[in-house]
């Protein structure tokens, strides 16, 4: 089976420093693929390259056999790749309803306003934020801002969803709820790339992981096998990160 997302040899340098150096990965439909490593290892830069927020110096990105490497960020959204951010980004002066509808209006399906309104209402229910519809982004709690950001990304109709520490900062109850949400999205056939430091979530969600350090991939494969690798423990798990 051809992978939904294929990344081959991605490289990106800033001022002569290689932030991402030859990273390759493949994600199947319905798969939650873990991208882990210490802070500054290049994980978010890799997501930015896949999302089109940054232009790769070299390497290829393919979505269902379509080369999307040259597409802009907006072009990738319309090609059905979208993401959330490490620092939550909601539109603070707009309501929850307007935030999610913005995603629906910019979707790959080019929805007209009546259809975008219907989709927005469905997604507010789906993500459990219908009761917050009239609140502005600035009035929301942290977890609700995360839900709104995810609902807005989902409203664009992605086939590949990039989650940059979406589960970070949650209490145990919220974390369990968040894990259930990510599983539910993957069950709809979407490929998910999950950047995460919470190892309990990585173990619960990801059958495959890739570990980065200093811009390079140092290990990749089945999650439990990779997490037992000596080089991974030395570079990442042995430095005080969450091992649970």
The answer to whether position 85 is within a domain reads no
- Helix or strand holding residue 17 (H, E): strand 17-27
Average pLDDT over residues 175-196: 96
Provide the number of structural domains found in the chain: 1
CA distance 197 to 237: 10
Does 238 have pLDDT greater than 80?
no
What three-state secondary structure class fits 65?
coil
Does 196 have pLDDT greater than 50?
yes
Does 242 have pLDDT greater than 70?
no
Q: What is the CATH number of the domain that holds 198?
A: 3.40.50.300
| pLDDT bucket at 110, cuts 50 / 70 / 90 | confident
The answer to whether position 220 is within a domain reads yes
Pairing status of strand 5-14 against strand 58-63: antiparallel
Those residues with Cβ within 8 angstroms of residue 199's Cβ, 6 or more apart along the chain or in another chain:
227, 237, 241, 242, 243, 244
Q: Tell me 62's DSSP state.
A: E
The answer to whether position 236 is within a domain reads yes
The answer to whether position 5 is within a domain reads yes
The answer to whether position 88 is within a domain reads no
Residue range(s) defining the domain that contains residue 48: 1-71+193-244
The answer to whether position 197 is within a domain reads yes
Question: In the β-sheet with 32-36, what is the strand arrangement from edge to edge?
Answer: 81-83, 160-164, 191-195, 32-36, 208-213, 216-222
């Amino acid at each position: 089976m051809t992978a939904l997302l294929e990344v081959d040899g991605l490289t990106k340098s800033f001022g002569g420093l290689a932030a991402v150096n030859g990273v390759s990965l493949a994600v199947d439909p319905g798969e939650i693929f873990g991208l882990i490593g210490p802070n500054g290892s290049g994980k978010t830069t890799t997501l930015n390259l896949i999302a089109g927020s940054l232009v790769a110096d070299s390497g290829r990105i393919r979505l269902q056999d379509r080369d999307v490497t040259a597409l802009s960020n907006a072009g990738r959204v319309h090609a059905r790749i979208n993401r959330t951010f490490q620092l939550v980004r909601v539109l603070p002066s707009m309501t929850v309803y307007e935030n999610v509808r913005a995603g629906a209006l910019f979707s790959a399906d080019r929805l007209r306003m009546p259809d975008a309104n219907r989709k927005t209402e469905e997604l507010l229910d789906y993500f459990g934020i219908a009761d917050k519809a009239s609140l502005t982004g600035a009035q929301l709690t942290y977890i609700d801002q995360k839900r709104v950001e995810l609902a807005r990304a989902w409203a664009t109709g992605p086939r590949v969803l990039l989650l940059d520490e979406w589960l970070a900062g949650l209490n145990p109850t919220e974390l369990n709820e968040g894990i259930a949400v990510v599983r539910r999205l993957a069950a709809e056939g979407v490929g998910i790339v999950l950047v995460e430091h919470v190892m309990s979530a990585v173990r619960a969600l990801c059958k495959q992981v890739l570990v980065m350090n200093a811009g390079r991939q140092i290990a990749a494969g089945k999650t439990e096998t990779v997490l037992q690798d000596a080089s991974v423990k030395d570079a990442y798990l042995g430095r005080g990160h969450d091992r649970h």
